[in-house]
Amino acid sequence: DAGVIQSPRHEVTEMGQEVTLRCKPISGHDYLFWYRQTMMRGLELLIYFNNNVPIDDSGMPEDRFSAKMPNASFSTLKIQPSEPRDSAVYFCASSSFEGRNTEAFFGQGTRLTVV
Amino acid sequence: AQSVTQPDIHITVSEGASLELRCNYSYGATPYLFWYVQSPGQGLQLLLKYFSGDTLVQGIKGFEAEFKRSQSSFNLRKPSVHWSDAAEYFCAVGASGGSYIPTFGRGTSLIVHP
């Protein structure tokens, strides 16, 4: 498997624009996580899905953020409208809770810059 | 709620020296514990994990970690550091039952001097 695939790797956008980040989890994994990494706050869990269903979105900073998982192989994180304080690295991770194989596998991240 | 503390923001060591990165966790039951490494511009890669059994866990790249329940710690060690070990290291804790959501510490940046 190619691992967790995120796109784009880098995104630069102007304040107020809509941004969509994409993630393809590892095939067979039934959990998907979106994390945000900043210098100030470290790695924060934004939302996670189980079997394509959002389970906990309490980490989503505000209504400008939304996430979907229309099928087992694709998820999006959308920011609309974007603001400079949204600049961060966004990671997608997937996992399958099978016995001892419960670690999360991370994508390479999307570095978002909002100017 | 579970939490992780990595008390050292930066650690500087000389190449060839030994290394210990500290991690303390808070969780009411037996946790799942992990160490990840992040190289610049990359995602997080799992170094090792503890679920149960032997409290000394061996990982990749010559790393090991020891789970000490009495101290709520899971410190990462390496006997001899290589320049390529320079990276950010994250400790994470997950619940041992029910749904598992990894909670990460703030990370420790390892600097290796030649």
| Touching B: A residues 80-109, CB under 8 Å | 91, 93, 95, 97, 100, 102-109
- Cβ of B43 within 8 Å of Cβ of A104? The answer is no
Nearest Cα to Cα of residue B109 among B16, B43, B39? B39
User: pLDDT category, A101, cuts 50, 70, 90?
Assistant: low
For the cut 80, the answer to whether the pLDDT of residue A82 exceeds it is yes
For the cut 90, the answer to whether the pLDDT of residue B29 exceeds it is no
Rounded CA-CA distance B10/B113 in Å is: 13
Structural tokens at position B113: 């001097």
Output the pLDDT for position B56: 96
- Cβ of A106 within 8 Å of Cβ of B45? The answer is yes
Output the pLDDT for position A46: 96
Output the pLDDT for position A48: 93
Output the pLDDT for position A100: 59
For the cut 80, the answer to whether the pLDDT of residue B28 exceeds it is no
B52 half-sphere exposure, CB direction, 13 A CA radius: 9
For the cut 80, the answer to whether the pLDDT of residue A97 exceeds it is no
- Cβ of B45 within 8 Å of Cβ of A109? The answer is no
Residues in chain B with CB shorter than 8 Å from the CB of A107 are 43
Rounded to 5 degrees, what angle do the CA atoms A66, A71, A74 make?
65
For the cut 60, the answer to whether the pLDDT of residue B74 exceeds it is yes
Residues in chain B with CB shorter than 8 Å from the CB of A100 are 49, 51
CB B36 within 8 A of CB B46: yes
- Cβ of B94 within 8 Å of Cβ of A102? The answer is yes
Structural tokens at position B34: 């992990």
Output the pLDDT for position B96: 56
**How far is C-alpha B40 from the geometric centre of its chain's CA atoms?**
17
For the cut 90, the answer to whether the pLDDT of residue A110 exceeds it is yes
In this prediction, residues A77-98 reach a mean pLDDT of 93
